[in-house]
Chains A and B, each alone.
Chain A
C-alpha cells in the first residue's frame, strides 16, 4: 500500500507517509479543486451573462397594479371620500375585468405550465445546476480512480469512532485509527471547506462553492423554478380586499384638531364634535343632517 509501518505495533499505528503522497496527491487535489471552483465561477458568469431577462411592460403593469390596490387600502384615508370611492370602484372593476392582465383573453384558462417564459427560467436553472454538478462528478471520479485507498493526512486531535465513515471513505480497514484521512474524504473536506477561500479569491457573491448547490436543491422543488402565477386570481383576491376596505377620512375633523393643537379649543372626541356642530348654528345643523344622509 502507499504507507509503511515504521514502528512497533505497540505504539498504536504510527504510520509513516511518503512525502511523495503529499506532493503528488494531497496538494494536487486541493489545487485542482480550487482551480475548478474558479473556473466554475467564470462559467456561471458566462452562462447567465445576459443577466435575468427584463420583464416586459405588461408584466410590470400586471404586478404593480396589485401594489397600487394595497396602497389605496392602506393610505386611502388621506384623500377625500369621493376620490377614494372613485378609485376603489375603478380598481375593483379593473381587477374583475382583467384590464391589467398581461393577456386579458386567457384570464379564465388555467395557467399553462409549458409557458415559454416559465420554460426559459427552468432551462436557466438547469444550466446552472449542470455547471455545478458536472465538474464535481468529474473530480470525484478522478480522485476515486487514481488515488483510491491513499491515506493522506493525520488529524492532530483524537476523534471518536463515528467519524470513521466520514474520514476514511474508500479505505476499508476497520482497525485503522480514526484520525487518518483517506483521499476521497480529503476531497469531501475540500468540497465543504473551500468556501471561505473562494470568497477570499472571488469576492462574496461567487458561484464556485460546491455547498451552494446543495442548499439550493430543496428550494428547487418549490415555486422558485418559475411555476407561473395566475395573476387573475391574485387580482380577484385584491379586489375583494379592496371592497372590504372602509374609508375613515383623516381630514374629517382636522379643523377641530388644529384648533385644539394650538389650544383654541379643548381636545374633544369626534362624537362630541358632531353634536357641537349641530348645535352651533343653523348652517351647521343643516349640514349635520346632510352628513347623516350622505353617510348612508
Chain B
C-alpha cells in the first residue's frame, strides 16, 4: 500500500527546483507526472503553466514523449502565439533530432524579436549539437556583445575556446567573469589554470599570482595550493632558463608601451610559497582523513 500522495509537498519541491534552476529531471518527472495523472494539477492556480513547462523539459530529458505531449498541448491551448511556448516546441524538435526544423523555428522567433534571449541560446545549443563550433562561438560572442553580464555564457564560450586550445581567448572570457564577480574564487582558479596551461613565462608568474589569490579568497583551497606547487615544479625544473627568460620577457614588455608586464616573483618567494603549499596540503589532508570533509577534492587535483 503506497502512502498517500502529498501533493502540497510535491508542489513545493517543484517550486524550489524552479527557483534554484536545478534540473533534477527524474524527480520532476515522478512528482509532476503524478500531479497530472492524479488530477492535482488544478490545485496549482496560476503556477500551473510554469509547472507544465518544467515537467515538459524534464520529460524531454528522459524521453517521456507522452508526458511531454500533454504538457505542450496544454500550454499551446492556453498561449497560442507565445514565443516561450514556441521555444518549447523547438526543444521538442531538438529532442527528436530535427535540428534544422528547430533552427528554422528559432530563426523565425528571432526575426520577430531579436532580443529574445532564450531563442538565441537555443540557437547556439543547436550549433553545438551539430558540431558547428565555429558558428556557435560566433553566435555566442555576438550574444555576449550585447548581454555581456551573462556569466554562464562567458563560461560556455571559454570552454568552447578551450576545446580548440585557444587559451588566450579563453583567458579573455575568464577575465570578463572576474570583472563580473571579482570575489568568486572559482573564476580566479579557472583563470589561473588556463594561464598555467598556455606555456608562456609571462603567464606562469601570472598563474602563480592567481593561484595565490584563490588561496587568499578561499582559505586552504587545495586545488589552488596544488597549483602553486605545480608552478614551483615548473620553475625549478627550468630555473636557469627561467632567469634568462626573464630578461627577454622584460625587454619584450617594456617595448610594448601600454601593456605593463606582469611583475614577476623572485625565486625565494616562490620556494617559500611552495613550502607553504606543501604544509597546508598535508595539514588539510591529515584533517580530511579524520572527518572525510575534503577528501572529495582529491580527484579534482589529479
Contact = CB atoms under 8 A, between A and B. Distances in A.
B264 interface: yes
B269 A256 contact: yes
Given A55-B115, A254-B216, A294-B254, A72 B179 contact: yes
Contacts of B85: none
A284 B268 CA distance: 10
B179 A79 contact: yes
A211 interface: no
Contacts of B145: 61
Interface stretch (A125-133, A200-208, A227-235, A275-283): A275-283
A290 B260 CA distance: 10
B175 interface: yes
Nearest to A78: B182
B267 A281 contact: yes
A281 B268 contact: yes
Interface string B23-55: 000000000000000000000000000000000
Nearest to B216: A258
B114 A56 contact: yes
Interface string B238-252: 000001001100100
Interface in B65-117: 113-115
B58 interface: no
Nearest to A65: B148
A124 interface: no
Contact of B146 (A54, A64, A79, A255): A64
B276 A290 contact: no
A251 B265 CA distance: 12
Interface residues of A, number: 49
A75 B182 contact: yes
B212 A258 contact: yes
A180 B300 CA distance: 83
B209 interface: yes
Contact of A71 (B180, B208, B209, B266): B180
B290 interface: no
Given A78-B182, A80-B262, A82-B260, A54 B268 contact: no
B210 interface: yes
Given A258-B212, A286-B247, A287-B250, A83 B175 contact: yes
Contact of A262 (B254, B258, B276): B276
Interface residues of B, number: 44
B272 interface: yes
B115 A56 contact: yes
Contact of B147 (A60, A82, A86): A60
Contacts of A262: 276, 280
B149 interface: yes
A255 B208 contact: yes
Nearest to A263: B276
A292 to B, nearest CB: 10
Chief secondary structure at chain B's binding surface:
helix
A68 B216 contact: no
Contacts of B128: none
A33 B54 CA distance: 43
Contact of B266 (A64, A86, A281): A281
A258 to B, nearest CB: 5
Nearest to B115: A57
B215 interface: yes
A167 to B, nearest CB: 44
A85 B260 CA distance: 9
Contacts of A76: 179
* Max chain A C-beta neighbours (<10 A), residue from B115, B213, B253, B266: B266
Given A81-B260, A295-B260, A251 B178 contact: no
A51 to B, nearest CB: 12
Contacts of A290: 250, 253-254, 261
19 contacts: A55-B115, A56-B114, A64-B146, A68-B148, A76-B179, A83-B172, A85-B258, A254-B212, A255-B208, A255-B265, A258-B273, A259-B272, A262-B276, A265-B272, A280-B268, A283-B246, A287-B250, A287-B266, A290-B253
Interface of A: 54-57, 60-61, 64-65, 67-68, 71-72, 75-76, 78-83, 85-87, 89, 250-252, 254-259, 261-262, 264-265, 277, 280-281, 283-284, 286-287, 290-291, 293-295
Given A258-B276, A280-B268, A286-B246, 18 more contacts: A60-B115, A75-B179, A78-B179, A87-B175, A251-B210, A251-B212, A254-B212, A258-B273, A259-B273, A262-B276, A281-B267, A283-B267, A284-B264, A287-B246, A290-B250, A290-B254, A291-B263, A294-B260
